[in-house]
Amino acid sequence: MAIDRISSLPDELLINVLNILPTKYAVITSILSRKWGNLFKEVTHLDFDDSLLFNSLSVFDHEKRCVSFRAFVCKMLGCLKLANLISFRIRCTATCEGCERESVGLWLSAILSHGIQEIDLCIGGTPDVFPHSLFTCKTLCILKLNFVFTILNIPGTVCLPCLKILHLQQVTVIDEDLIGRIFAGCPLLEEFNWDSLTWYDARQLSISAPSLRKLKLGDGKYFESSVFVRGAMDSVAIIAPLLQSFYYSDKLAKSYFIKTSNYLVEAHVDIYIDSCDFKDSSLSHAARDLIQGVSNVKRLFLSADGIKAVTLVKDELPILRNLTTLKIGCSTNPHLTLLRLLGSAPNLEELTFSEGLFHVGLTDKDTVQQDYWGRGVVPSCLKTHLKVIEIEHFLGLKEELRIVEYFLSNGHALEQLIIHKWMGRKAKFKVRKQFKRLGRRWNKCVNFNELFL
């Protein structure tokens, strides 16, 4: 016989479940049975999403939706003990000019005077109507702001003594001082994600963060923002002694000052450079300083454009002493830069070509034989430390095989060479046969992974 076990769970566990649900569903449980009637009033996590509220209302009935949504939130806030509220999340994309923002301002005022810990706002509108207490809340640990392309402007002081995580998404910042003020006011900040860095309309960026462990600047979609494309910044300064993870996607700035320490574990560098900037010799220093700033890193990912940045560096590259893993995208430049990088990473153990050695679509005619794979000093990491090489999108080009041969002959520590074949290529190529002639010993460490794309 089917029994109702869920209702016999202790109230606190049921409230746990309700806390996970979007608030609309939590309220709906009030109708399930008597036991459930008032449970929803005990939730400590609120999650309002206006896209969930419009089942019956017409999509085009804009004003009715706003009114309905506002009423819902007000009623809910009225039911709860606000003092117990831990987390407040609101997604409001159907906004009426002005009215929505004012309401949100009022709601926030009500919540902020208690012990709220997490606020996640996805709402169009400037924070001018938001209570200043949003930026001076003593208990706030997590703050996520998505203002749907409006300007973040905080006129007064920022003082969030408990804030650990700050996310800015689709937010425009025009005040150069603001970032500095935010960091000054958030001494415990551990994680800062700024996806919409492209919308930063200033020439300098300065981040000094004693507790920061994770930093994400940009979101890899720089090129897709056709609405507003900012030019290169004059300077980027980052002082973060405890930084563990660094993600950076933006146009190469004109100068860098980055101070990290051996805590830095991984860095993802995705730099965009205008083709005309290649002739600008001052960018050589910028690129070098950028690499210098992350030279402590253990795992480095360089996008195709990131490699272009390295190509710019005319002087010797900084030594990447701790680097054990290197993943690179596929650059249109020849692989000389790669050899230079390998030369600066004496302890490298893993090398991955995440987008292959050459762009898909190239043929043997397009790939010129490069001499430097034969001459010159072999990077020391190949002789002593490099254990694994992984190549995605292998096309079967002659030049690719030459490069592989180079690695196999010079890679004395090599244990595995993993090849992912690009099956999109029509012409069949007998890769195995070609590898066979490289000797039996090497056949043991070459591993084929055939991806069917």
Spatial contact of 335 and 403, defined as CB atoms under 8 Å apart: yes
> What is the residue-wise DSSP string for 305-342?
HHHHHHHH--SPPPP-TT--EEEE---SS-THHHHHHH
Q: What is the 3-state secondary structure (H, E, C) of 127-144?
A: HHHCCHHHHCCCCCCEEE
Sequence-distant (6+) residues with CB within 8 A of 381 are 342, 345, 346, 347, 348
Taking the least distance from each CB to another protein, the nearer of 388 and 431 is 388
Spatial contact of 133 and 109, defined as CB atoms under 8 Å apart: yes
Taking the least distance from each CB to another protein, the nearer of 29 and 136 is 29
Spatial contact of 29 and 39, defined as CB atoms under 8 Å apart: yes
Q: Least distance from C-beta 194 to another protein, angstroms?
A: 16
Spell out, one character per residue from 289 to 328, where the chain touches another protein: x when CB under 8 A holds, - when not. ---------xx-x---------------------------
Q: d(Cα 309, Cα 325) in Å, to the nearest integer?
A: 19
Q: d(Cα 157, Cα 138) in Å, to the nearest integer?
A: 13
Q: Which one of 4, 97, 315, 371 is in contact with another protein (CB under 8 A)?
A: 4
Q: Which one of 42, 44, 49, 68 is in contact with another protein (CB under 8 A)?
A: 68
Spell out, one character per residue from 9 to 28, where the chain touches another protein: x when CB under 8 A holds, - when not. xx--x--xxx-xxx-xx-xx
Q: Which one of 43, 53, 182, 414 is in contact with another protein (CB under 8 A)?
A: 53
Q: Which one of 11, 32, 221, 449 is in contact with another protein (CB under 8 A)?
A: 32
Q: Least distance from C-beta 248 to another protein, angstroms?
A: 13
Sequence-distant (6+) residues with CB within 8 A of 126 are 101, 147, 150, 151, 152, 153
Q: Which one of 148, 265, 304, 401 is in contact with another protein (CB under 8 A)?
A: 265
Site for another protein in 208-247 (CB under 8 A): 213-214, 244-245
Spatial contact of 140 and 117, defined as CB atoms under 8 Å apart: yes
Would residue 273 be called left, alpha or beta, if left means φ above 0 and alpha means ψ between -120 and 50 degrees?
Answer: beta
Taking the least distance from each CB to another protein, the nearer of 6 and 413 is 6
If one asks whether residue 109 binds another protein (CB under 8 A), the answer comes out as: no
Phi, psi of 341 (to 5 degrees): -60, -45
Q: Least distance from C-beta 44 to another protein, angstroms?
A: 13
Q: Which one of 57, 151, 239, 378 is in contact with another protein (CB under 8 A)?
A: 57
If one asks whether residue 51 binds another protein (CB under 8 A), the answer comes out as: no
Q: Which one of 39, 44, 72, 180 is in contact with another protein (CB under 8 A)?
A: 72
If one asks whether residue 87 binds another protein (CB under 8 A), the answer comes out as: no
Spatial contact of 348 and 342, defined as CB atoms under 8 Å apart: yes
Taking the least distance from each CB to another protein, the nearer of 254 and 268 is 268
Q: Least distance from C-beta 160 to another protein, angstroms?
A: 20
Residues near another protein (CB under 8 A), total: 46
If one asks whether residue 261 binds another protein (CB under 8 A), the answer comes out as: no
If one asks whether residue 62 binds another protein (CB under 8 A), the answer comes out as: no
Site for another protein in 414-443 (CB under 8 A): none
Q: E strand or H helix at 74, and its extent?
A: helix 62-79
Place of tokens 């005990």: 42
Q: Least distance from C-beta 8 to another protein, angstroms?
A: 8
Q: Which amino acid is present at 294? A: V
Environment class of residue 147 by beta-carbon count within 10 Å: exposed (0-12), middle (13-18) or buried (19+)? buried
Taking the least distance from each CB to another protein, the nearer of 25 and 278 is 25
The CA–CA distances, whole Å, from 115 to 118, 131, 135, 317 equal 10, 16, 14, 50
Taking the least distance from each CB to another protein, the nearer of 27 and 310 is 27
If one asks whether residue 164 binds another protein (CB under 8 A), the answer comes out as: no
State the residues that interact with another protein by CB under 8 A.
2-7, 9-10, 13, 16-18, 20-22, 24-25, 27-34, 36-37, 53, 55-57, 68, 71-72, 75, 191, 213-214, 244-245, 265-266, 268, 298-299, 301
